[in-house]
Structure 1
Amino acid sequence: MALSQTQPAQEASPADTVWTVLDAANDLGDTLTVDACRRVIDATLRGHEASASDMAVVAAFFS
């Protein structure tokens, strides 16, 4: 039995959200948001916490 059949669908993870914002910001040419997303992704991959200011930029993108 596949894993997807045994667990209910889950909401997008915070990492998925950052990647979505990165794609959208890149399409729009929003270099400030692209840079913030890259720093968040880099911090996450290194096992560090992203800065509050970068997270605020990512969170505000769709607002």
Structure 2
Amino acid sequence: MLPQFGTAVRKNKSLTKTVAAEPGGSAPEKATVDAAWLVLEAANDLGDHAAIDACRRVIDAELNGTVPGSADTELVLGYFR
């Protein structure tokens, strides 16, 4: 029996990490980006356009080596709660 999608995410404590606050800024943590991919898939299935856009911004930030907005990070990390 497979765990429920949201339950599996909550049990993985590494997905609750936030972006490190460094003076020069840093890329999002790997766990945040991994969560963004999971949320993107679920948001696409649900037609949640606001979440889709937030996930894309988090993923783009990782690809560009920049810091995503805190609102986008919070949405991604709290999506299944």
TM class by smaller structure: 0.7 to 0.9
Which entry has the higher C-alpha Rg, 1 or 2?
A: 1
> Which is helix-richer, 1 or 2?
1
- What is the CA deviation profile of residues 17-48 of structure 1, one whole-angstrom value per residue up to 9, with x for unaligned ones? 11000000110000000000000101110000
Structure 2, unmatched stretches of 5+, are 1-13, 16-30
Structure 1 counterpart of 2:42, one-letter code: A
* Whole-angstrom CA distance in 1 between matches of 2:60 and 2:34: 14
Contact 2:32 2:77 in 1 (8 A): no
Show structure 1 runs of 5+ residues with no match: 1-10
RMSD: 1.4
Aligned residues: 53
Give aligned-pair identity as a percent. 47
Task: Identify which of 4, 7, 19 aligns with 2:37.
Answer: 19
Runs (4+) of structure 1 moved beyond 3 Å?
none
Choose between structure 1 and 2 for higher RCO, CA contacts under 8 A separated by at least 6 residues: 2
Shift of 1:54: 0.5
